[in-house]
Each structure stands twice: as structure tokens, then as C-alpha cells.
Amino acid sequence: RKEVEQDPGPFNVPEGATVAFNCTYSNSASQSFFWYRQDCRKEPKLLMSVYSSGNEDGRFTAQLNRASQYISLLIRDSKLSDSATYLCVVKKGGGFKTIFGAGTRLFVKA
Amino acid sequence: EPEVTQTPSHQVTQMGQEVILRCVPISNHLYFYWYRQILGQKVEFLVSFYNNEISEKSEIFDDQFSVERPDGSNFTLKIRSTKLEDSAMYFCASRDLDLSTGELFFGEGSRLTVL
């Protein structure tokens, strides 16, 4: 089983749509979770951290389910500028290694 | 805004040649990383570096790879004898002391093409 698994997509949605991405991780010792965004041929950039109680940042909502080892990202009111690859990222507690999922491609169309 | 800088942005080399990729992490950060991304594939962990030594490395980071922090500001990745399959984008990243936030700050990457 892959350490971090994501649906590669692509997700093609119209502007204004709500879209959700899921991610599962295999290591139950994982303690820190993040969503990063990567534009084509650019470096990954942090979108948001994921907290146990769930958290929201504007149009973005992240959820964590430790029992199911599952993380989600919800994007409301999609903008053209949201088109990117969304990377699920997991860090094991007490370690240094941060593992990236393969990413989910999102295309938002006018 | 402080940033991680990497040089060169693109390097083309012949198979078997040595390559050194350079990074200047954010100045108050203490944890340093190299990742690579083969075109169209995922971002893969290579190595982490803390307190002047390797803290973790992946199976990709074999004897052909080495890292160094020679002068307290630069953080380098050396590939001793490049292979075709080393062609990739190499990202340097750094993180500050607060492990609870965990945010990695990435440089813009060095694209390595091995011919």
C-alpha cells in the first residue's frame, strides 16, 4: 500500500462549483497533515495545515479522520485560479521525513 | 519575504558527470531537505539534514548522492556520477524549529537533464 494515496483526477469543474479531494495514508504514526498546491512546473506551496478538529481557510476546508487514516480538502466556489495539482502531505511524528502524495489535478473552466 | 533560493535553475550534463546543486535555505531555519520530481511524477523525498548531519534518507539516496552544508548558509546536493534516470527537478526545502507547524518552504527547483 502506498504511504500516501490520492485520486489523480483530473477533476474538471466549472467556475463556482464545489469540489472535494480525498487522501488516505498508511502509517498510523503520522501526526502532521497538510495540503500543498503545485502549479505546473513550479514548486509546491503550502495551502493549509490539517488539524484534528478540521479547519477552514476562506473557501477551503480540510478534514482529518484519524480512525480511517483519511484526509479531505473541500474547495467551495471554485475560481479559475484554483486550477493546479493538490498534494496531500503527511509527516510521521518524531521524524523528519515528509511524504507527498502523487497529487490530484484540478481544472476549473469558465 | 524570506525565500529559499536554488542554483542553477537548469543544468544539462553528460551521463557519468558530477553535478552539484546549490541551495540557500531561509536564514533562521534549521531543517533542510532535498526532494526530486521526475517529470509527470510525484514529489519524492531524498534526504533531510539537521544539526550538520543527515537525519533521514530514502532508498533513492544511495552512495551516488551526498549533501553538505559547507559554510553555514549553503546546502548542496552532489550527484557523483549522473545517470539518465537522475533527470528530474530537484527541490530544496527548509523548515524552522517549530516542528508543530511543519510547513516546508521550497525553492523554485533546479532542473537537471542528463544526456
Residues of B in contact with A2 (CB under 8 A): none
Q: So what's the pLDDT on residue B98?
A: 65
> For residues A86 and B1, what is the distance between their CA atoms, to the nearest angstrom?
23
> For residues B10 and B111, what is the distance between their CA atoms, to the nearest angstrom?
5
Phi, psi of B71, deg, nearest 5: -140, 20
Residues of A in contact with B104 (CB under 8 A): 44, 46, 98
Q: So what's the pLDDT on residue B14?
A: 97
pLDDT, tens digit, 9 for 90 and up, residues A11-57 = 999 999 999 999 999 988 888 899 999 999 899 999 999 988 889 99
pLDDT tens, N- to C-terminus, chain B (115 residues): 779 999 999 999 999 999 999 999 998 898 999 999 999 999 999 999 998 999 999 999 999 999 999 887 899 999 999 999 999 999 999 998 765 567 899 999 999 999 9
Q: So what's the pLDDT on residue B99?
A: 57
SS3 state of residue B86: helix
**Contact yes or no for B43 and A46 at CB 8 A:** no
Q: Which residues of A touch B (CB under 8 A)?
A: 32, 34, 38, 41-46, 49, 87, 91, 95-103
Q: So what's the pLDDT on residue A92?
A: 79
**pLDDT reading at A93 higher than 80:** no
Could you tell me which of A60, A66, A73, A67 has the C-alpha nearest to residue A23?
A73
CA angle B71, B76, B82 (to 5 degrees): 150
**pLDDT reading at A94 higher than 70:** no
> For residues A38 and B24, what is the distance between their CA atoms, to the nearest angstrom?
21
Mean pLDDT score across all residues of chain A: 93
Residue B104 is given by DSSP the state P
Q: So what's the pLDDT on residue A69?
A: 94
